[in-house]
């Protein structure tokens, strides 16, 4: 029993190191290396406290590599835990973009609408709302504050 616990502890430390390496690769825009590190970390510690953040950034790496379906899966998994609203809004937006890029406009509209609903003041909510067909924007709630910055 003690040996099993020690092995799990070591595996957890290795997984967290792979997660951190993946984050460094994301910052360096080394998408393939980041995706590999995240995949290795997920195999060793799929329910780690950092799993939601890992899945989000793994989704970004896969998105940059043009692997939309895999990217969508990672973004969806990043929202299965108590992820921050900001991260959920970003994940929903990227899922919508994935659907839009593959011509699945009904699904894209559904997810753009969710961005506006989940985090109406997020900068991406304004962009998501601009992509909604008339009548599909959520009613009620606080609308995003207009900005003068170019996005």
Tens of pLDDT, residue by residue over 68-90, are: 899 999 999 998 767 788 889 99
Residue 138 pLDDT exceeds 50: no
Q: Is 36 exposed, middle or buried (0-12, 13-18, 19+ CB in 10 A)?
A: middle
* pLDDT value for 118: 86
| pLDDT confidence bin for 7, thresholds 50/70/90 | low
Higher-confidence residue of 141 and 119: namely 119
Residues contacting 92, CB < 8 A, separation 6+: 75, 79, 111, 112, 114, 115, 118, 128
Residue 123 pLDDT exceeds 60: yes
Residue 145 pLDDT exceeds 50: no
pTM value surpassing 0.85:
no
- How large is the average pLDDT for residues 94-122? 92
* pLDDT value for 41: 95
Q: Exposure pattern of 48-63 as b/e (b: 16+ CB <10 Å)?
A: bebbbbbbbbbbbbbb
């Amino acid at each position: 029993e003690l040996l099993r616990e020690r092995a799990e502890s070591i595996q957890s430390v290795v997984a967290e190191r792979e997660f951190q390496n993946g984050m460094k690769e994301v910052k360096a825009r080394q998408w393939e290396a980041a995706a590999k590190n995240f995949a290795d970390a997920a195999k060793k510690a799929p329910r780690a406290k950092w799993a939601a953040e890992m899945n989000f950034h793994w989704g970004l790496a896969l998105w940059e590599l043009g692997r939309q379906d895999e990217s969508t899966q990672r973004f969806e998994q990043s929202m299965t835990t108590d992820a921050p609203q900001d991260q959920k809004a970003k994940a929903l937006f990227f899922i919508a973009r994935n659907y839009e890029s593959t011509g699945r406009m009904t699904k894209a509209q559904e997810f753009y609408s969710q961005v506006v609903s989940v985090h109406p003041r997020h900068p991406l909510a304004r962009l998501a709302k601009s992509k909604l067909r008339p009548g599909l924007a959520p009613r009620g709630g606080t609308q995003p504050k207009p900005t003068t910055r170019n996005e």
